[in-house]
Amino acid sequence: MHLSKAVVRTEHASRYLQQLCKHWSHKFSVDFDPHKGRVPFSDTAEVTFAADDAALTMTLSVTDPAQQARMQGVIDDHLKRFAFREELDIVWTD
């Protein structure tokens, strides 16, 4: 598995976590509560979320490194849509 992680500073981390998980629950078997969430996109890719008062932490796990950049982009795009009222700094690290 190839892991990458982004810690996004925001006071609305729990809200975004829940919005993302609810959005993807229409297609995937999602588990979440206000503080943590998991979205299994496939057998080869999943993202987990952790929210606290200061940040949303996103951890992406993929088996094929070629998927990594594409999946990061998908997650980023969705988060930016839900967080359109604020400018988020999303930086993924391996």
User: Domain residues for 70?
Assistant: 2-84
Token readout for 76 is 């980023």
pLDDT digits (tens, 9 = 90+) for 36-57: 999 999 999 999 999 999 999 9
pLDDT digits (tens, 9 = 90+) for 54-80: 999 999 999 999 999 999 999 999 999
H or E element: which one contains 54? none
Closest CA to 89 of 55, 42, 63: 55
Question: 91 in a domain, yes or no?
Answer: no
CA dist 17 and 61 (Å) reads: 17
For residue 42, give the CATH number of its domain. 3.30.310.50
Give alpha helix (H) positions in 3-94: 13-24, 65-82
Question: 52 in a domain, yes or no?
Answer: yes
pLDDT of residue 53: 97
Question: 93 in a domain, yes or no?
Answer: no
Percent with pLDDT over 70 in the chain: 100
Q: How many domains does the chain have?
A: 1
Question: 60 in a domain, yes or no?
Answer: yes
Q: pTM of this prediction? A: 0.95
